[in-house]
Structure 1
């Protein structure tokens, strides 16, 4: 059973949930903002923590983030599979003792990440980087970003990817993977997120061009993640 924690109602698991359903992997979604959180991860084999507009440094305003951080710690100590997306990645970094802070600018839209040398040796990142049609591994490829915060690399973590704006885009710590970008986005999620946003048309037009490739890259990552 996979525990999926949503930090805000609008940021759901998207293509992650689609993959779990298609592959008959049991899961349970928790609405953290509404106080729906597991007391323990004893009955779970993995933990996924989604994004949200709040900052890790705002735990006094959003106290549920403290509980989510505790659950991340428990998951890592239990050696469970852990995946953090955007805020989820920042929470993993925080839980591991790294600094999380406001960045020097907002990174939003479809922009390239570049795998590090370690990223090119990591089987999950290779699965994400491998072009679904051609089959070759791309060191640089586009992913979807929407964040203004960033984090330092935790001690003991393996740096997996960077972008032009931010050095730390992905890292691994034991069985935990932290992705600053949104691997889970679907057309439906983007339409909801950008309903009244000035970048709506641009974002959706590019999504139309990249969606098939991106969804296959994400699916390959999920396969490697859930089977490892």
Structure 2
């Protein structure tokens, strides 16, 4: 019998903040046979991952897409994502990652009128209800951002929220951007509360309520997020 060597599948992940990792999505990817390869913004992101046909996930962080003068490596990420958009390479952007996809598409990212931090449901568009985001119908998701964005040209709007009309969009079948956090891991939420304590206090966010809502909604979000991710993967 001839031995067959299977090529290992892997996910490239760009991380901007130590505790904002793939969260509950990590287990889903691993259950599908993927190896996770993390790269850290400003430290060790090889240009080759932008040309790699493997899935690329770009995660969140507290810096702004428009702060390229302070964080010059953001421009490298934007340029790399332009290539992936042009070539329809499978890419998932979450929070800052979604905003970087907006910038790479040529649309504007800018400071919003309110800090949207907390749990609430989304308003799905008609296209959103026909997309993997349909599993988030009536599910409270975690929002954690102060910036917002214009909808990129040729993008399909998938979801809005109470405060912002643009929360998720797709660029074809291979590129999905979500400004909220479907990957939030309820078991590790305390890391977010500690890591973002200055922002939470400055924005006068009720931390006790935020923690209680995580305990109330976190499990349902993880379950819906798993179905969302599995359907997106199946469509690639």
Q: Does 1:168 align with 2:133?
A: no
Secondary structure of 1:57's aligned partner: coil
Secondary structure of 1:79's aligned partner: coil
Bigger radius of gyration: 2
Unaligned runs of 5+ in 2: 1-9
Quote the residue 1:52 is aligned against.
Answer: 61
The correspondence for 1:201, drawn from 191, 202, 208, is 208
Quote the residue 1:187 is aligned against.
Answer: 186
The correspondence for 2:44, drawn from 23, 27, 36, is 36
Q: Distance in 2 between matches of 1:44 and 1:64?
A: 22
The correspondence for 1:125, drawn from 127, 133, 136, is 133
The Cα of 1:16 is off from its aligned counterpart by 1.5
Q: Distance in 1 between matches of 2:75 and 2:151?
A: 20
The Cα of 1:44 is off from its aligned counterpart by 4.0
Q: Distance in 1 between matches of 2:19 and 2:218?
A: 20
Structure 1: 4+ residue segments shifted above 4 A: none
Quote the residue 1:66 is aligned against.
Answer: 75
Quote the residue 1:134 is aligned against.
Answer: none
Aligned partners of 1:2 and 1:44 also within 8 Å = no
Unaligned runs of 5+ in 1: 130-137
Q: Distance in 1 between matches of 2:31 and 2:208?
A: 30
The Cα of 1:25 is off from its aligned counterpart by 1.1
Q: Considering only aligned residues, what root-mean-square deviation do their CA atoms show, in Å? A: 1.5
Length, aligned pairs only:
216
Aligned partners of 1:87 and 1:180 also within 8 Å = yes
Aligned partners of 1:114 and 1:141 also within 8 Å = no
Q: Distance in 2 between matches of 1:17 and 1:170?
A: 20
Secondary structure of 2:123's aligned partner: strand
Q: Distance in 2 between matches of 1:70 and 1:40?
A: 12
Q: Distance in 2 between matches of 1:69 and 1:43?
A: 16
The Cα of 1:204 is off from its aligned counterpart by 1.8
Aligned partners of 2:133 and 2:158 also within 8 Å = yes
- 1:150-205 Cα shifts (integer Å, max 9, x gaps): 00000100011001100000000022111010111112442011124553321221
**Larger displacement relative to structure 2 (165-174 or 111-120):** 111-120
Using the size of structure 2 for normalisation, the TM-score is 0.86
Q: Does 1:2 align with 2:1?
A: no
Q: Distance in 1 between matches of 2:213 and 2:126?
A: 28
The correspondence for 1:141, drawn from 134, 139, 142, is 139
